[in-house]
Homo-oligomer: A and B are copies of this chain.
């Protein structure tokens, strides 16, 4: 059986670009949502998945965090970081002055807020479910409009690139995680992602847990909270730390944390992404 790679589609999304960057040799299958990428992996032992988990400007992708929290069998086997560049795309026949509306995913509209305010203050902004959908919707629309999307989508669907790198800040990158049925063997340069929750809403508990890591000088690269969906103000904490879960030092940390937390889930250990540039 050959392995397939389920990604957040449609074709032309940043996630597809990230999949190619991670391993272009695996056959890619577009899925319509993050939840469906997760389901594709859960249902088939030969399927891996790739989804965005965090953007440098917008923060965490909450659907992806919830997917991990709700599916303890999904493990993270890798990560990849992609620079995100946004392009203004129109039909080949559209001129800039006549643009009446601009389509994009709300997150991308947000990332190009200043550009849109400066160049298209009066133009209606329309939300799309993905950047790639924004481009195809724009191309199919009767009225003159534009879309904000990735270069790859413009190329695939023959859109005209009118302006490039229109995002407000240059340091726009997205981190993607690769989902599989097992995590990665130790490489000596690894990260581990975990999720903890507490029985009671007692912020002192988080302080105790951070103390366990601090005592062992384990560097944490991320702490995020996600609502438990039980009551306003109660959270899961998603923590990334340096090291592999098979390392003695991390094993001991987890043992020390167990009595403090209500639940500890290890999402996986995997090689820390190093940019090839």
Residues of A whose CB lies within 8 Å of any CB of B are: 35, 54-59, 62-63, 81, 106, 110, 113, 125-129, 169, 171, 173, 175, 203-204, 206-207, 210-211, 213-214, 219-227, 229-233, 235
Q: Is the CB of B222 within 8 A of A233?
A: yes
A132 → B minimal CB distance (Å): 13
In the assembly, what is the distance between CA of A197 and CA of B57, in Å? Answer: 16
In the assembly, what is the distance between CA of A170 and CA of B65, in Å? Answer: 21
A38 → B minimal CB distance (Å): 13
A70 → B minimal CB distance (Å): 11
A233 closest partner in B (C-beta) = B221
Q: Is the CB of A232 within 8 A of B56?
A: yes
In the assembly, what is the distance between CA of A265 and CA of B104, in Å? Answer: 33
In the complex, given contacts A204-B214, A207-B214, A225-B225, what are 12 additional A-B residue pairs having Cβ atoms less than 8 angstroms apart?
A55-B227, A56-B231, A56-B233, A63-B110, A106-B127, A127-B127, A171-B232, A175-B232, A203-B220, A207-B211, A221-B233, A223-B225
Q: Is the CB of B125 within 8 A of A127?
A: no
Secondary structure at the A interface, as helix, strand, loop or mixed, is mixed
**Chain B residues with Cβ under 8 A from A204's Cβ?**
214
Q: Is the CB of A56 within 8 A of B227?
A: yes
Q: Is the CB of A231 within 8 A of B171?
A: yes
The 8 closest A-B pairs by CB, nearest first: A203-B220, A56-B232, A207-B210, A127-B127, A127-B129, A57-B229, A59-B227, A207-B214
**Chain B residues with Cβ under 8 A from A57's Cβ?**
227, 229
A123 → B minimal CB distance (Å): 13
A54 closest partner in B (C-beta) = B232
**Chain B residues with Cβ under 8 A from A230's Cβ?**
171
